[in-house]
Structure 1
Amino acid sequence: MARFVLRDSEVLVHTAKLRKINIGHHDVLVYITSERVVIAGMVFKRVLKDIPYTAIDRVEDSMYPLIKMKKDASFDIIEKSGERTTLYNYIYGENIPYLMDLIANRGRLA
């Protein structure tokens, strides 16, 4: 899997761990920087995906998933439908703006 690397112009704001409880407890790391969100993890294959904030702003309502922040600063992803899905659906579902709101509300964003 590719390694997460900060670009020269960006600052790491927060790192979170997503735990997908309905499809086998695979952990997904989310790196939130001043310029982008990077999701890295192993679901059915290894993935490293960059999502610019401009793309996040265009995210529309989705059937995926519910996110709960845990006391250890990780997040549980609970699928509303209970069906299996891929990391792609998590990335482009409603969870990223919601995840960022959760972090902001706990004072984690600069």
Structure 2
Amino acid sequence: MRLLPLASFIALMSHLISVSAVDNYKCPSKAKFTTTRIYNLANLIIAGRITEGVKDVVTSSLTTSSFIFDRQTINGVKYEFMIKVRNIDRAIDVYEMESGRTRICELIT
């Protein structure tokens, strides 16, 4: 019964939280990229609108395109961030690279 006067406030806050929730790719270095940015990049790569810096690997009728889309220095360490897109099914992976190590970034929903 004590929460009844606060019901409209609680409903509003719940709505604002759900509307502002954004899916991100989170990398081990703690860098984050929105799914909107990543999906837009993937679409531009597949459509051929980004060509400079895109590397295509073709194996048995499967083409995978990779593109370094960002560079950052985090805590004095230089990172490059790469998107890989499999053209046949548009599967997307995001990676971070530093000092010869490549690690995958997770999609956090």
The TM-score, its normalising length taken from structure 1, stands at: 0.29
**Larger Rg computed on CA atoms:** 2
Higher helix fraction (1 or 2): 2
Of Structure 1 and Structure 2, the greater strand share is in 2
**TM-score with structure 2 length normalisation?**
0.29
